[in-house]
Amino acid sequence: MAKEEKRRIEELEREFVIPLRASKHQPSRRRRAGHALLTVRRFITRHMKGQPEDVWIDPHLNEFIWARGIQYLPRNVRVKAIRFEDGLIEVDLLEGQ
C-alpha cells in the first residue's frame, strides 16, 4: 500500500457491558458517580480506538448513573457505542435499563 492512501474509517456500532465496580472502591464516597463517568469514557476510548475528547456521553446515560445519587452506583451499565467517520464516538444507554 502507498503512504498516500488513507485508511477509511467507516461507521462502527457496538454494544458493551461496562463494569463500574472499580468506581465503587477506588474514589472517596463523594466522587463515585464522576469517577464512573470517567470509567465509561476510558472504556469506550480503549475499545472503540478513539480519543477521550471525542467521546460524547448521552444525557440519559448520565442520568442513569446519577439516579441513585453520588455514592450508590449501578454495578454495570449496558451501552451502545457508535463511531462516526469523523472520529466522534456517541455512547447511548441501551433500552431496557
Point out which residues pair with 89 in neighbouring strands.
Answer: 55, 83
State pTM to two decimals: 0.86
Cell 445519587, located at residue: 69
CB-based burial label for 70 (10 Å; 0-12, 13-18, 19+): middle
The Cα 76–Cα 23 span in angstroms is 10
Q: From the CB of residue 61, how many other CB atoms can be counted at a distance below 10 Å? A: 21
Q: Is the pLDDT of residue 1 over 70?
A: no
The Cα 82–Cα 71 span in angstroms is 29
- Mean pLDDT across the chain, nearest whole number? 90
Q: Is the pLDDT of residue 45 over 80?
A: yes
Cβ atoms of 77 and 17 within 8 Å: the answer is yes
Domain 12-93: give its CATH architecture. Roll (3.10)
What's the confidence (pLDDT) of residue 10? 72
- Domain ranges in the chain are 12-93
What is the average per-residue pLDDT within 43-72? Answer: 96
Helix, strand or coil, per DSSP, at residue 81: strand
